[in-house]
Amino acid sequence: MSESFTLTNISQLVTNNSAIGDGELGVITNAAITVTDGIVTWVGQTSDADSSFPKTDVGGRSIIPGFVDSHSHLMFAGDRSEEFAARMAGVPYSAGGIKVTTAATRSASDDHLRDVARSLINEMHESGTTTIEIKSGYGLDVATEERSVRIASELTDEVTFLGAHVVAPEFSSNADEYVDLVIGEMLDACAPHSHWIDVFCDRGAFTVEQSRRILEAGIAMKLSPRIHLNQLEQGDGIAMAIELDCASADHLTYLTDDDIAALAASNTVAGLVPGADFSTRAPQYPRGRDLLDAGAVVALSPDCNPGSSFTTNMPLMIALAVREMHMTVDESLFAATMGGAISLRRDDVGHLSIGAKADFALLNAPSYIHLAYRPGVPMISTTWKDGKVIFTKGDLA
Ligand code: NIG
Ligand code: FE
Are residues 159 and 275 located together in one domain of the fold?
yes
| 311 within ligand 1 shell (Cβ under 6 A) | no
How far away, in angstroms, is 365 Cα from ligand 2 center? 31
* 219 and 310 share one domain: yes
* Ligand 1 atom at shortest distance from the alpha carbon of 303: 1
72 and 54 within one domain: no
Examine residue 362 and state whether it is found in any structural domain, yes or no.
Answer: yes
Both 38 and 101 in one domain: the answer is no
pTM for the full predicted model? 0.98
Tell me the per-residue pLDDT of 340-361, one tens digit each, with 9 for 90 and over.
999 999 999 999 999 999 999 9
- Same domain membership, residue 372 and residue 336: no
pLDDT tens, 213-251?
999 999 999 999 999 999 999 999 999 999 999 999 999
Q: Kindly report the average pLDDT of the chain as a whole number.
A: 97
The answer to whether residue 287 is domain-embedded is yes
**CATH number of the domain residue 370 falls in:** 2.30.40.10
Q: Could you tell me the pLDDT band of residue 397, with boundaries at 50, 70 and 90?
A: confident
3-class SS of residue 316? helix
* Other residues' Cβ atoms within 10 Å of the Cβ of residue 364: 17
Asked if 304 and 264 sit in the same domain, the reply is: yes
Q: Is the pLDDT of residue 38 over 90?
A: yes
Q: CB-based burial of residue 227 (10 Å sphere; 0-12 exposed, 13-18 middle, 19+ buried)?
A: buried
Query: Can you tell me the distance from the alpha carbon of 252 to that of 244, in angstroms, rounded to the nearest whole number?
Result: 17
What are the φ/ψ torsions at residue 183 (nearest 5 degrees)?
-85, -5
User: Is residue 295, in this structure, part of any structural domain at all?
Assistant: yes
Same domain, 156 and 26: no
Cβ–ligand 1 distance for 306 under 6 Å, the answer: yes
59 lies in some domain: yes
- Is residue 102 a contact partner of residue 138, using CB atoms and an 8 Å limit? yes
Range of the domain at 308: 68-343
CB 309 within 8 A of CB 276: yes
pLDDT digits (tens, 9 = 90+) for 280-304: 999 999 999 999 999 999 999 999 9
Q: Assess if residue 397 is contained within a domain.
A: no
**Which is nearest to 218 in space by CA: 164, 267, 273?**
164
Residue 51: pLDDT above 90? Answer: no
Residues 186 and 86 in one domain: yes
Residue 97 Cα: closest atom of ligand 1: 9
188-214 residue pLDDT tens: 999 999 999 999 999 999 999 999 999
Q: How far is the CA of 15 from the centre of ligand 2 (A)?
A: 28
Q: Which pLDDT value is given to residue 1? A: 82
Averaged pLDDT, 10-27:
98
CATH number at residue 135: 3.20.20.140
Average pLDDT estimate for 40-54: 95
45 and 178 fall within a common domain:
no
Please tell me if the CB atom of residue 303 comes closer than 6 angstroms to any atom of ligand 1. Answer: yes
pLDDT digit string (tens) for 71-126? 999 999 999 999 999 999 999 988 888 989 999 999 999 999 999 999 999 999 99
Residues 280 and 307: their CA atoms lie apart, in Å, by: 9
Same domain as 328, residue 266: yes
- Closest-CA residue, ligand 1 atom 11, reads 308
Contact 68, 84 (CB under 8 A): no
Question: Which residues, other chains included, contact 389 with Cβ-Cβ below 8 Å and sequence gap of 6+?
Answer: 382, 383, 396
How much of the chain exceeds pLDDT 70, in percent?
A: 100
Question: Which pLDDT belongs to residue 374?
Answer: 98
Average pLDDT on 55-68 reads 98
Q: What's the CA gap between 247 and 241, in Å, rounded?
A: 9
Counting every residue written for the chain, the total comes to 397
The answer to whether position 113 is within a domain reads yes
Residues 75 and 61 in one domain: no
32 and 159 housed in the same domain = no
- The atom of ligand 1 lying closest to the CA of 280 is 12
Strands 388-392 and 4-14: unpaired
Map residue 217 onto helix, strand or coil: helix
In angstroms, the CA 332 to CA 372 distance is 9
| pLDDT tens column, 254-268 | 999 999 999 999 999
Would you say 218 and 187 are in contact if contact means Cβ atoms under 8 Å apart?
A: yes
Total domains, the chain: 2
- Which residue of 98, 248, 305 sits with most ligand 1 atoms within 8 Å of its CB, as the best mutation to test the pocket? 305
CA nearest 54: which of 13, 4, 10, 11? Answer: 4
